[in-house]
Amino acid sequence: MAKRDYYEVLGVSKGAGEDEIKKSYRTLAKKYHPDVSTEPDAEAKFKEVQEAYDILSDKTKRAQYDQFGHQAFDGTAGFGGAGGFGGFGQGDFDFGDIFSAFFGGGSRSAASERNRPRKGSDIQRRMSITFEESIFGKKEKAKIPVYDECHVCHGLGAESKSDIKACSQCHGTGTIVVESQTLFGRTQTRRTCPTCHGTGKEITKKCHNCNGEGVERVTKEIEIKVPEGIETGQQIRLEGFGNKGSNGGPNGDLYIVFEVKESETFIRQGDDIIINIPITFAQAALGTEIEVPTVYGKVLLKIPSGTQSDSKFRIKGKGAPNVRSKVKGDQHVIVTVVTPTKLNSEQKRLFERLVKVEDPPKTNTSFWSKIKNSFKM
């Protein structure tokens, strides 16, 4: 079965804002929640909605989806970097979590919610590369600041294991019962324990290095492989190189977004490269062979006699490699016939002689009708 468009799944437009996406997601998640829904294929629908929301609620993933569609996440895009474009965390999906979010507390205790493994957050960095580097790729070591496990307490947050006790307010459950008087009588509600914030634990002596956070800021040296053919705005994902996960959860990912500097010689257009080469009157009239720079080195190009200004010539296979297929585009050479602005006496003499013997160009009537149309006369 073909995968449905995520925007279509959530019933929102491509330009939908965060709030609109969230609102639609909530409505649909309630409608299809397998514990409450009577729809026949509620679970499949619910998963579909959840998946669409996972992508569209995440700025980075949404941008990838807008650019590459479902391919961005099915692992086949195959960008050169470590891990490439991978899938997203299906495994993170948790019914209990969503249930309590919508229906005011499920059956699980707050402490088990709080202490379940969580994926670390993603990091995004921009990397500026030259035009040549974008064609040939390169490897570069970059220093990236990340949150990693505290090397003193190894994520414990306490000086030692004996410095962690069950929370005195909630006795380790992570929740407290609050009684309140309402229009309908006395009610009891469970709230997250304010002392331990739901962890059920209390640290009596915090780790001196991380102040109880369990993580510390470190700078990691990471080798970044710039894929051949990458373009401005495209990115690679380095799985697991983001911030540290908590409670044994996986690390976040590192996204490198590339910015390609403009070249003085070449312009990239898709997988093709365009270059402009000036030639003289005489070269255009008589024909010649010129040396044309390509990113792969100089190439001889035959200019036939009678070449007009702005003529295009194609040099096959000398364009940019496609970032996915690695198939190279072509180089297009646009030749401009340049009118000389300064003539030495010898050149002047030759032009004067030429003007006496050459036939003046004929006025082209269809040319005049084009001019007329463009002025709407």
Cα separation, 347 vs 341, whole angstroms: 11
- Smallest gap, in angstroms, from Cβ of residue 222 to Zn ion? 23
Number of CB atoms found within 10 A of residue 85's CB: 21
Q: Is 196 or 224 the residue whose CB approaches Zn ion more closely?
A: 196
Number of CB atoms found within 10 A of residue 217's CB: 11
Cα separation, 332 vs 313, whole angstroms: 6
Alpha helices in 59-218, H assignment, sequence order: 59-68, 95-103, 110-114, 131-136
The answer to whether 86 and 234 are in contact (CB under 8 A) is no
Q: Is 71 or 115 the residue whose CB approaches Zn ion more closely?
A: 115
- Smallest gap, in angstroms, from Cβ of residue 244 to Zn ion? 12
Q: Is 61 or 114 the residue whose CB approaches Zn ion more closely?
A: 114
- Smallest gap, in angstroms, from Cβ of residue 53 to Zn ion? 31
The answer to whether 95 and 34 are in contact (CB under 8 A) is yes
Interacting residue ranges for Zn ion, rule: CB under 5 A: 150, 152-153, 167, 169-170, 193, 195-196, 207, 209-210
Cα separation, 146 vs 245, whole angstroms: 11
Stated as kind and residue range, the H or E segment containing 6 is helix 6-10
- Smallest gap, in angstroms, from Cβ of residue 247 to Zn ion? 15
The answer to whether 296 and 165 are in contact (CB under 8 A) is no
Residue 23 is encoded by which pair of tokens?
Answer: 């609102």
Q: Is 153 or 260 the residue whose CB approaches Zn ion more closely?
A: 153
The answer to whether 225 and 216 are in contact (CB under 8 A) is no
Q: Is 210 or 323 the residue whose CB approaches Zn ion more closely?
A: 210
The answer to whether 201 and 215 are in contact (CB under 8 A) is no
- Smallest gap, in angstroms, from Cβ of residue 148 to Zn ion? 11
Q: Is 170 or 301 the residue whose CB approaches Zn ion more closely?
A: 170
Q: Is 97 or 163 the residue whose CB approaches Zn ion more closely?
A: 163
- Smallest gap, in angstroms, from Cβ of residue 195 to Zn ion? 4
The angle formed by the CA atoms of residues 37, 40 and 44, to the nearest 5 degrees, is 80
Q: Is 20 or 148 the residue whose CB approaches Zn ion more closely?
A: 148
How large is the greatest C-alpha to C-alpha distance in the chain, in angstroms? 111
Place of tokens 């979010």: 101
- Smallest gap, in angstroms, from Cβ of residue 329 to Zn ion? 52
- Smallest gap, in angstroms, from Cβ of residue 18 to Zn ion? 32
- Smallest gap, in angstroms, from Cβ of residue 197 to Zn ion? 8
Q: Residue type at 58?
A: D
Stated as kind and residue range, the H or E segment containing 278 is strand 272-279
Q: Is 159 or 228 the residue whose CB approaches Zn ion more closely?
A: 159
Cα separation, 277 vs 289, whole angstroms: 12
